Structures are given as C-alpha cells and as structure tokens.
Amino acid sequence: MDFPIFHLDFIGNRALIAIIAVLHAVINHALAVGLMPVVAMLEIKGFRLLKTNPELAEKWDALAYRILFVAFLITTTIGAMTGVGIWFSASLVNPASIASLIRVFFGAWFVEWLVFVTEVVLILFYFLTWKKLKANLLQKFKHVKYGLFLSFFSWITMAIIVSILSFMMDTGNWNNDRTFLYGFLNPVYLPQLFFRTPLAMTMGGMIAMFLTLIYTRKDLEFRKVALRSISKWVLIWGPLAAAGAMLYYYMIPKSLVGNLPVAMGTLEFQNWYSQIVVIVIVAIGLVIGMANWSYFRPQTAPAWLAGVSILLVVGLMGHFERLREFIRKPYVIGEYMYSNGLRVEDYPLLQRDGVLKHANFVASKEVTDDNMLEAGRDVFILTCSRCHTTNGAVNPMTGKFTDMFGTKPWETAQLKGYIKNMHSARYFMPPFPGNDRELDALCAYIKELQTNPQPVSGAQDGLGFNKPKPSQPVAAVR
C-alpha cells in the first residue's frame, strides 16, 4: 500500500511468480539436488574400474560427464537466473510480505547465500576440472570428492529453503515464534524434507535415465550396464518419494489446524487434495514401471516414456507447490499479513479511515461524488489486484461476477453485499479492508468494467502502451 503497485492485468501477478518459481524449483530439485549425486555415482563407478578395466571405466566417465554437461548448462543459466527471478518477481508483486520476511529470515537467507556460493563454486570446479583431473588415480580421487561435496551442498541449499517455506505455511507462528529457528522446528518441516529429498532424487535419476537412453544408442552393451545401475537408483528412491508424498499429504491438514476449515471448506481445496492421491499413484507408478522396464529390458526401454514420466513427476511437484500456495491464503504470512499486503492489525484503522487515505501512489486520498471511478480503480488496485485482473486471462473480476450474477447489469447492492462478506463466503480471500464509501467506489468501478472493460495499468505503466483511459496514470500524484 505504501509502494507503487506493480500490476499485470493480463496474466495476473501470481502467474508471474508461479511460472518463475516452479521453473526454479523443478530445475533445483531435478538437476541440482537429484542429478548431482547420480553423476557422482556414475563417476565413482568409472573410478573403481580405472585399474581393472580402463576401457569400461572411460565409458562410465564419459557418460557421467555428458550428463553433468546438460545439468551444468541449465542450472548455471535458467536455474541461477530464475532463483534471482523469484526475488525480483515476489518483491514486485508483494513487497510488503517479502520485506517482512527478510527482516525475520535475514540470517537464514544469509547462510543460504553462503551455501549457495559454495555450491556454485563447486559446480564450476567439478565441471571445469573434469578433464584436467584425470591423469592419475590420485587426481581422479580428488575430483570424485568434489562431486560428493557438491551433492551435499546442493541438498543443504534445499534444506534451508524448505524451512522458510514451512514457516510460511504454518499458521499463527509469526505472532509467537518470530525466529528463523522455528522454521526448522515447526511441524511441516520434516515432512516437507522427507518428501522433497526422495522426489528430487527420483527426478534426478529419471533425467539420468532419459539422457543415458539417448547417449548410449550406439553402444547397447554399455547401455545395459548403465541403465541397470540408474534404474536401481530410481527403484530405491521412487517408493520413498511416494511415501514422502503421502506423509506430507497427511501432515498438511494436521499442521494446519488453525487454517484447516479455511482451506478445507473450499471446493477448490477439496478437489486438489483428493487429486493428489491419484497423481502420486500415476506419476510414481509410471516412474517405477519405467525403472523396472529399463532394469529388465534395457534394450527396448523407450526414451520418450522416460520423458513422459519426468513430466508427470514435474506435474506432481507443481501440484504440491500449488496446494502449498493455496493453503496459505488468505494470508501471505500466517495470521499476520493478508495476501493483499495488509497486516491483520491494519484492518480496524483502514476500515475506519479508508485505504486511500493511508496509501501513497493513488490519484486521490478520498472518495467524492466526482471521482468515483478513479477512486474505485485505485481501491481495486489496492485491495483486489494482487489476485485478480480486471478482465485478463487469470482470475478476472468481470468473469467472476458474471459467473455469479449473470450478464444482466449488476446492481450495487448485490456487489456490495458480496464484497462485504466475501471473506466468509470464500475463505481464501481477505476481508475488504476499506470503508463504506470506498466500497461504493469499488462497486461503481466494477459496474463500469461490466459495460466498458478496460485493462488497468500498474505503476510500471511504461513503454508507452497500456495507459489508463481515465486521464491520470495510477501512479501519478497530482
């Protein structure tokens, strides 16, 4: 509210974060946490044969290197940049929540950064010295150790992040245990870690399997040996991932007692929650089936099926991330701050004085008879735009009200009645924070949207397009 509000009126703000964050999580889990230990394992296989069977040893080594090459290319470009991108997008979309989290989790993030620096240095070292440290057993041994360190640090990075994630899911603790240690101690932490670790290992194994199927097309003898050990890896971790997923699945409601009716009361949540079992069975089932196929019939195992099962596991992961996001609503920080960036404790003041009065980047600080539409637009931006677009692709205001009230002109009383109580009808939405005059203005604006749908622009409003029609740009104060 104090910040000028960045807003994407077509894809919506949450979609921006979601795309970047899911991409990052998948790359991090699959290619860093999961694949590095597999590469290290393959390298060790070669290392062990170095004396007895140098020719086969070289094959293992070459395969490990080629797999690492792919991981290196992706993690140091898309992986690294989407990691930064999560920061950028989250602080654009919900600056107040990120800023509050940083003040509590500064220590965790700082340690995370140190671990991350180590991880990056190690992957550079591991990859760039592969061909140099090969001359003799001693050198190779050193190199094998880098791989093991790297695997360890990749996992630690994830273990720290999970604490912050679990903290945000666990309701109420912000008001009591505002320390980052509680991130590790809270009840969702271990289940999350037990879920994410084997899931990452499974994904890493599947990617190694996929790449091996491609890289060993010309050497079917070696393919057999290589696929066997990779399938073993998947067969060990796959069931653990399924178990972890189920544990997490049962722990979610348990740890969310405070928020439970909120989440459980919604059809959306119930649908997602019940889909999980099916998705887990299908995705992990296919993975295990594929691993069995590669183990027993390596010659006929198809690469595309490995590809499909990777996509399914990615889907599974995405589903859990969505669920996690959903459970948090209407809060960004459990019982402390709503997703609209306003604190729970701000509400009495704002409902008395209005949100405009205490906001900065608005066209006017008070609703008058002359500025209903303009003020209504600002109220929309301040109170709804974090989750809704006016008329865009994701969660559009006009679409939502049409679903409810049909296409005939909406009436102010209808809109007002709904918005005043929307938090009790739809638990994922925070209560309307403004005063009655502002609600009138918002309703006037929404009615205007029905007859004259105009995209609303955010503070970034640059590059000459997407200017708001009602003369003044949102971000301009007189």
Partner 1 sequence: MFLNILLQTQTIVQKDIPLPLPVPEWVLVVVLVSMFLVHILFINFMVGGSILTLVYQLLGLRKPDYDKLAYEVAQTITVNKSMAVVMGIAPLLAINTVYTTYFYTANALTGLMWILIIPLVTIAFLLLYAHKFLWHKLDNNKFLHISILATAVAIFLFVPLIFLTNVNLMMFPDKWSVVEGFLSALVLPNVFPRYLHFLNACMAASGLLLVWYFGRKDFDFEEKFPMLSRYNVRKNLYTVTFYGSVVQFLVGPIVLVTLPSQGLGWNVLLVIFTGASIAIVAMVWLWKEITGPAAQFGRHFTKIALTMGVVVLFMGSGRQLYRSNVIDPHRKLVAKKTAEYEKLVKEAQAEALKPKTTETAAATHPGEAIFQMNCVACHQVNDKLVGPSMVEAAGIYKGNLDGLMGWIRQPGKKREGPAMPAQAHLGDDKIKQVAEWVLTLNK
The nearer residue to ligand HEC, 299 or 452, going by C-beta atoms, is 452
Single out the residue of 113, 141, 250, 296 in contact with partner 1 (rule: CB under 8 A): 113
CA–CA separation, 250 vs 229, rounded Å?
Answer: 32
Single out the residue of 96, 165, 288, 316 in contact with partner 1 (rule: CB under 8 A): 96
CA–CA separation, 24 vs 316, rounded Å?
Answer: 15
Q: How far is the CB of 30 from partner 1 (least distance, A)?
A: 17
Q: Which stretch binds partner 1 (CB under 8 A): 39-47, 157-165, 302-310, 344-352?
A: 344-352
Neighbours of 211 (CB within 10 A): 21
Residues 31/32/36/37 CA torsion (nearest 10 deg):
-110
Q: How far is the CB of 231 from partner 1 (least distance, A)?
A: 30
Site string for partner 1, 218-247 (x = CB under 8 A): ------------------------------
Yes or no: say if 376 and 18 are a contact pair by the CB < 8 Å rule.
no
Please give the residues from 10 up to 49 whose contact with ligand HEC meets the rule CB under 6 A.
none
Please give the residues from 386 up to 415 whose contact with ligand HEC meets the rule CB under 6 A.
386-388, 395, 400-401, 403-404
CA–CA separation, 140 vs 157, rounded Å?
Answer: 26
Yes or no: say if 83 and 48 are a contact pair by the CB < 8 Å rule.
no
Please give the residues from 139 up to 198 whose contact with ligand HEC meets the rule CB under 6 A.
none
Q: Which stretch binds partner 1 (CB under 8 A): 33-41, 214-222, 262-270, 294-302?
A: 262-270
Please give the residues from 81 up to 100 whose contact with ligand HEC meets the rule CB under 6 A.
none
Q: Does 425 bind ligand HEC (CB under 6 A)?
A: yes
Q: Which helix (H) or strand (E) holds 338?
A: strand 337-338
- How many residues belong to the site for partner 1 (CB under 8 A)? 81
12 binds, among ligand HEC, partner 1, none (CB under 5 to 8 A by kind): none
CA–CA separation, 290 vs 42, rounded Å?
Answer: 20
* Sequence-ordered list of residues with C-beta below 8 angstroms from that of 55, at least 6 positions apart, any chain: none
The token duo for 382 is 């301040």
388 binds, among ligand HEC, partner 1, none (CB under 5 to 8 A by kind): ligand HEC
CA–CA separation, 323 vs 333, rounded Å?
Answer: 16
Q: Which stretch binds partner 1 (CB under 8 A): 146-154, 158-166, 366-374, 462-470?
A: 462-470
Count of positions (residues) in the chain = 478
349 binds, among ligand HEC, partner 1, none (CB under 5 to 8 A by kind): partner 1
* Sequence-ordered list of residues with C-beta below 8 angstroms from that of 227, at least 6 positions apart, any chain: 209, 212, 213, 216, 294, 295, 298, 301
Yes or no: say if 333 and 172 are a contact pair by the CB < 8 Å rule.
no
DSSP 410: P
- Helix or strand or coil: residue 369? coil
387 binds, among partner 1, ligand HEC, none (CB under 5 to 8 A by kind): ligand HEC
CA–CA separation, 216 vs 299, rounded Å?
Answer: 10
Q: Does 324 bind ligand HEC (CB under 6 A)?
A: no
Q: Does 73 bind partner 1 (CB under 8 A)?
A: yes
Please give the residues from 385 up to 404 whose contact with partner 1 meets the rule CB under 8 A.
403-404
Site string for ligand HEC, 327-356 (x = CB under 6 A): --xx--------xx----------------
Yes or no: say if 3 and 96 are a contact pair by the CB < 8 Å rule.
yes
The nearer residue to partner 1, 28 or 294, going by C-beta atoms, is 28
The nearer residue to partner 1, 127 or 194, going by C-beta atoms, is 127
CA–CA separation, 357 vs 340, rounded Å?
Answer: 17
Residues that bind ligand HEC (CB under 6 A): 268, 329-330, 339-340, 383-384, 386-388, 395, 400-401, 403-404, 419, 422, 425-426, 428-430, 432
